[in-house]
A and B are shown apart, each in its own frame.
Chain A
Amino acid sequence: MTTITVAADLLSRLAAVVAAQPGRVAVHAVDGSLDFAALDRRTAGLARALRAAGVRRGDRVGVHLARTADLPVALLAAWRAGAAYVPLDPAYPAERIAFMAADARLAAVVSADAEPPVPAGVPVLRPDAQGTEGPAEPFTPHPLDSAYVIYTSGSTGRPKGVEVPHGAVAGLAAALELSGAYRPEPGVVAWNASVSFDASVQQWIRICRGDTLVVIDDTQRAEPTRLVRLLAEHAVTDLDLTPSHWQLLREPLAGAGAGTRVPRLFMGGEPVPARTWRELADARIDALNLYGPTECTVDAITTPVTGPGPHLGEPLPGVRAYLLDGRLMPVTTAGAVGELYLAGPGLAHGYPGHPGLTAGRFTADPFATEPGARMYRTGDQARRSAEGLLEYVGRVDRQVKLRGFRVEIGEVEHALGALAGVTAAAVTLHEAAPGDHRLAGYVTGAAVRPADLPAELRRTLPAHMVPSTVTVLDALPLTPNGKVDHSALPAPAAAATDTAERTAPGGVDEQVAEVWRTVLGVPDVEQSDDFLSLGGHSLAALRVVHLLRRKLDVELQLRDLLDAADLAGFTAAVRRAAAAGPAAARPTLTARREAVR
C-alpha cells in the first residue's frame, strides 16, 4: 500500500491545532462548548481513565453517549488510549446494543447511563471520568492500528462490524483536502449523521484539522426549522446529509431569509435523485456527491453536483476504482454495466469475527502494481456514459428474474425516477400470489398521474421491466440512516391509491392515518396504535409532521406527535392545530432571494 504518501495521523494533527490555537472553539453542543485546550484536557483525562481501567492498544471501547460535547471527547479518548471506538447509539434497541457490545468484545464502555446494556464485567466509565496517572506523551497510532468498528446490517439478519484502520481514516481526511472537498481554511462543520453511520466519521474527524464541530442533537435534527436556525447561528460552512434529509431541509433553508447562506452540502448515503440533482445544480448550490461503502472508509468517489444529471464522479486521491464484468475483466464499452470494485489504502481490515465473509468480499487485486494488494467487491453496479461519466446503476444483489428475464431493479428505479413529475422512485419485487412475482413501483410527486407512468416507462424499458403497479406515496419510507427502506414499502394492493382517491375529501382522520401508513410502511393502522411501537423513529416522526403540514396546511410541531399516546391522540392534536390557523408560508427554493417572511 504505497500508492500515496502515508497521511499524517489525526491525533498528531489535533495536537498541532491544540498547540497553535488553544483558544479556538473546537465543539459547540447543546450542553456547552469546548475550546481546543479544553478538548485536549478532557480527552487526555478520559484516555488516562480508560488506561487505568485496563484498556490497551488494540482493544475496543464502546461509546454509548447521546449527541453532546461528550461524544467527540469519548471518541478521541478511545484513540488516545490506543483503542478503536465502537459506537453504541443509545437510541438503538437495548438488544442490538448488547449484541454489538458482546460481538466486539469491548474492553470498556463510556456511558452517561449507570447501567448501559453491555455484558457484565465490562468496565463502564462516565464521560467526565478523569484519570490522573498515565503516560504524558500522546499515543501515535500506527496506520494499521484499528480506529473504529462500525456495525452495518448484515444479509444474514445480524449486524456485522466493519473494522477500519487509522491510516485509512487519516487518508480520507487528506484525500478530501487534496480534492478540494475540505477547504484549506478552518470551517464550521455540522455533525449531522448518527455516530453509528460511517458518514459521521467524515464529519467529526474534521475537528482534528482545526475545524469547529457543531454537534446537532436529536431534537434539533428532527425539526428542520430549528436545524436551519442552528446552521445560521453558528455560520455553519459544511453540512453532510442524505438526499432524503435534504428534501426536508430545502424549504426551511430557502425560507430562512437572505442572511442565511446554504452551507456546502456533502450528499451521500444513497443516490441523489435526478430531480434533486437538477434542482441543486440549477440553483448553483455548492454541493458534492460522495459515494463510498463503509468497507472503503466513508468516501471513495466524488464529484460536484453540477451538469445535467446524477453521476458518481472520479475516485478520491489514493483510491482505485475498477468496473469489472463477470470474468473480472474491465468493462470498457460505454453504457455497459459492470460491478464496481475499490482498492487502495482506504480499505477496511474487514469484518471481525467473519473471516469467510471478509475473504469473499475483500479479495486479491489482479490490477494492483504492488503485489499482495486487495480490492473490495462493492456489490454496486455502475456504467460509463457516452460522455465518460461514471453512473450508479443499482445493487447486484437486487437482481431478479421474471419469467426468465433478468431484471436489474436499479435500472427500473432509475427509469421511473427520471419520468416527469416523479420526485423519488423505488421498486420492489412483489409476490402477488405464490410464485407470481411482479415488479411493484412506488413514486412520490404531487402532480404525478400513476395511470400514465407504465405507458411512459414502456418508452424506455422492455415490457418485462415495466412494473405491474405504480403506487403514489406521500413519501418513501426511510431507515433511521435516512435511506429508502425498501422492506418497509407497503404492499401495492394496500396502498394502491390513485391521485383521485388521494385528494378526495377523506377527512382529517383518514388523512392522518394515511400519512402514518405511508411513513411507517404498514398496510393498516388502528386508532389505538402508538407511533414508536409501530417502528417510528425520529426521522419518521419528522416526516409525518412535515407531510401533514403540507397536506393540511397546519402549524404542527414534532412534540404533537411524540407526546401523543396513540393515533387517536395525535389526530386530536392535528385537529387542534388546524383550528388554530394555517401554517406559515413556505417559499420555494428559487424564491429565497425574495424571502416572504
Chain B
Amino acid sequence: MSNPFEDDNSGYLVLVNDENQHSLWPVWIDVPAGWTTVHGEAPRQECLDWIEANWTDIRPASLLATLDQR
C-alpha cells in the first residue's frame, strides 16, 4: 500500500489553514474545507522546501499572537 504523501513522482500542493498550519497535499485529491492552496502544484521535495522556507514556527498563529503581546 503506497502512501499518497510519499510519492516522489506525483504533484503536490502546500495548504494553509486559519492557524497558519501547513499541510503537504496530493494534487489529485480534493482540498479539504478550511484549507487554501499557497504553493504548487509542484514536486514533493519542492513543496517541502517551500514549507521549510516559509513556515518558521510550527505553533498555531493564535498562540503566537498572544505570545507576542506579552
Q: Chain A interface (Cβ within 8 Å of chain B)?
A: 56-58, 142, 144-146, 163, 165, 325-328, 337-339, 349-352, 354-356, 358-366, 368, 370-374, 377, 381, 396, 399
Q: Tell me the bound Cα distance from A358 to B3 in angstroms.
A: 16
Interface assignment of B24: CB less than 8 Å from any CB of chain A: yes
Select which of B26, B34, B51 is within 8 A of A359 by beta carbon.
B51
Q: Tell me the bound Cα distance from A145 to B64 in angstroms.
A: 9
- B26 to A: closest C-beta gap in Å: 8
Tell whether, in the assembled complex, residue B21 and residue A374 are in contact, meaning their CB atoms are under 8 Å apart: yes
The interface residues of chain A lying within 8 Å CB-to-CB of B26 are 328
The interface residues of chain B lying within 8 Å CB-to-CB of A325 are 1
- B22 to A: closest C-beta gap in Å: 4
Q: Tell me the bound Cα distance from A337 to B3 in angstroms.
A: 13
Q: Of residues 20 to 41 in B, which have CB atoms within 8 Å of A's CB atoms? A: 21-26, 29-35
Known: A339-B1, A359-B51. A327 touches B58 (CB 8 A): no
3 interchain residue pairs of minimum CB distance: A371-B34, A372-B34, A372-B17
Q: Chain B interface (Cβ within 8 Å of chain A)?
A: 1-5, 14-15, 17-19, 21-26, 29-35, 48-49, 51-52, 55-60, 62-63, 66-67, 70
The interface residues of chain B lying within 8 Å CB-to-CB of A165 are 63
Q: Tell me the bound Cα distance from A225 to B21 in angstroms.
A: 49
Instruction: Classify the secondary structure of B's interface with A.
Output: loop
Select which of A349, A364, A396 is within 8 A of B1 by beta carbon.
A396
Select which of B31, B34, B66 is within 8 A of A373 by beta carbon.
B34
The interface residues of chain A lying within 8 Å CB-to-CB of B14 are 359
Tell whether, in the assembled complex, residue B32 and residue A368 are in contact, meaning their CB atoms are under 8 Å apart: yes
Tell whether, in the assembled complex, residue A363 and residue B1 are in contact, meaning their CB atoms are under 8 Å apart: no
Known: A339-B3, A356-B51. A363 touches B23 (CB 8 A): yes
Tell whether, in the assembled complex, residue B59 and residue A372 are in contact, meaning their CB atoms are under 8 Å apart: no
Known: A326-B3, A351-B58, A352-B58. A366 touches B32 (CB 8 A): yes
The interface residues of chain A lying within 8 Å CB-to-CB of B23 are 359, 362-364, 374
- A151 to B: closest C-beta gap in Å: 15
Select which of A58, A360, A370 is within 8 A of B24 by beta carbon.
A360
Q: Tell me the bound Cα distance from A163 to B57 in angstroms.
A: 11
Select which of B32, B49, B55 is within 8 A of A364 by beta carbon.
B32
Tell whether, in the assembled complex, residue B32 and residue A359 are in contact, meaning their CB atoms are under 8 Å apart: no
- A536 to B: closest C-beta gap in Å: 36
Q: Tell me the bound Cα distance from A365 to B35 in angstroms.
A: 10
The interface residues of chain B lying within 8 Å CB-to-CB of A373 are 17, 34
Select which of B21, B51, B59, B67 is within 8 A of A163 by beta carbon.
B59
The interface residues of chain B lying within 8 Å CB-to-CB of A374 are 17, 21, 23
> Which A residue's beta carbon lies closest to that of B22?
A359
- B52 to A: closest C-beta gap in Å: 5
Known: A325-B1, A328-B4. A355 touches B70 (CB 8 A): no
Q: List 9 A-B contacts (CB under 8 A).
A: A58-B70, A142-B66, A326-B1, A355-B52, A356-B52, A358-B55, A363-B23, A366-B32, A371-B32
The interface residues of chain B lying within 8 Å CB-to-CB of A360 are 5, 24, 48
The interface residues of chain A lying within 8 Å CB-to-CB of B35 are 364, 371-372
- A288 to B: closest C-beta gap in Å: 29
> Which A residue's beta carbon lies closest to that of B45?
A356
CB < 8 Å A-B pair total = 108
> Which A residue's beta carbon lies closest to that of B19?
A372
Tell whether, in the assembled complex, residue B32 and residue A144 are in contact, meaning their CB atoms are under 8 Å apart: no
Extra contacts, 16 of them, besides A356-B51, A358-B58, A368-B32 (Cβ < 8 A), are: A58-B67, A146-B59, A326-B3, A350-B21, A355-B56, A356-B48, A358-B22, A359-B24, A359-B55, A360-B24, A363-B25, A364-B31, A364-B34, A371-B32, A371-B34, A372-B34
The interface residues of chain B lying within 8 Å CB-to-CB of A163 are 58-59
Q: Tell me the bound Cα distance from A368 to B49 in angstroms.
A: 27
Tell whether, in the assembled complex, residue B70 and residue A57 are in contact, meaning their CB atoms are under 8 Å apart: yes
Tell whether, in the assembled complex, residue A366 and residue B17 are in contact, meaning their CB atoms are under 8 Å apart: no
Q: Tell me the bound Cα distance from A328 to B23 in angstroms.
A: 15
- A393 to B: closest C-beta gap in Å: 10
- B55 to A: closest C-beta gap in Å: 4
Known: A356-B51, A358-B22, A372-B19. A349 touches B60 (CB 8 A): yes
The interface residues of chain A lying within 8 Å CB-to-CB of B3 are 326, 339, 377, 396
Tell whether, in the assembled complex, residue A349 and residue B55 are in contact, meaning their CB atoms are under 8 Å apart: no
The interface residues of chain B lying within 8 Å CB-to-CB of A361 are 5
> Which B residue's beta carbon lies closest to that of A352?
B58
Q: Tell me the bound Cα distance from A359 to B56 in angstroms.
A: 12
The interface residues of chain B lying within 8 Å CB-to-CB of A365 are 32
- B33 to A: closest C-beta gap in Å: 4
- A83 to B: closest C-beta gap in Å: 12
Known: A326-B4, A349-B58, A364-B25. A355 touches B51 (CB 8 A): yes
The interface residues of chain B lying within 8 Å CB-to-CB of A350 are 21, 58
The interface residues of chain A lying within 8 Å CB-to-CB of B31 are 364
Q: Tell me the bound Cα distance from A142 to B69 in angstroms.
A: 14
Q: Tell me the bound Cα distance from A377 to B3 in angstroms.
A: 10
Q: Tell me the bound Cα distance from A165 to B70 in angstroms.
A: 18
Q: Tell me the bound Cα distance from A56 to B70 in angstroms.
A: 9
- A239 to B: closest C-beta gap in Å: 34
- B30 to A: closest C-beta gap in Å: 7
Tell whether, in the assembled complex, residue B63 and residue A355 are in contact, meaning their CB atoms are under 8 Å apart: no
The interface residues of chain B lying within 8 Å CB-to-CB of A327 are 4, 29
The interface residues of chain A lying within 8 Å CB-to-CB of B30 are 366
- B60 to A: closest C-beta gap in Å: 5
- A418 to B: closest C-beta gap in Å: 22
The interface residues of chain A lying within 8 Å CB-to-CB of B63 are 58, 142, 144-145, 165
Tell whether, in the assembled complex, residue A370 and residue B29 are in contact, meaning their CB atoms are under 8 Å apart: no
Tell whether, in the assembled complex, residue B67 and residue A363 are in contact, meaning their CB atoms are under 8 Å apart: no
Tell whether, in the assembled complex, residue B5 and residue A57 are in contact, meaning their CB atoms are under 8 Å apart: no
Interface centre among A165, A339, A372 (most CB of B within 10 A): A372
- A420 to B: closest C-beta gap in Å: 30
Interface centre among A325, A356, A399 (most CB of B within 10 A): A356
The interface residues of chain B lying within 8 Å CB-to-CB of A337 are 1
- B29 to A: closest C-beta gap in Å: 6
> Which B residue's beta carbon lies closest to that of A59?
B67
